[in-house]
Amino acid sequence: MTLLLEDEDVVQLATRLAERRQVSPTQVLRDALKREWSREMGDTSMIDAVKVIQSKVRALSDPQKARPADKDFIDSLYE
């Protein structure tokens, strides 16, 4: 089966992303469609992966040593 893409914007986006990733435009579209299908079907594997990362970050943090995000702190980020 052949799929004809008549939308030039879609072709350009797929081509640019393919060049950046060093894969074919077909692979870019395949990956995007798989991600969307997983989301549509309620695949929670990505959500579960993010929750694991969040729990690891929480385990490494120490709320007692946290600095308040007040004006002085924010200003110090730009100095």
For the chain, domain boundaries: 8-58
Q: Which tens digit of pLDDT belongs to each residue from 42-54?
A: 777 777 888 889 9
Helix (H, G, I), strand (E, B) or coil at 72: helix
Which residue in this structure is represented by tokens 């970050």?
57
pLDDT category, 28, cuts 50, 70, 90?
very high
Residues in the chain: 79
Judged on CB neighbours under 10 Å (0-12, 13-18, 19+), 56 is exposed
Which residue in this structure is represented by tokens 């879609």?
10
Note the pTM of the prediction, 2 decimals.
0.52
Average pLDDT of the residues in 57-66: 85
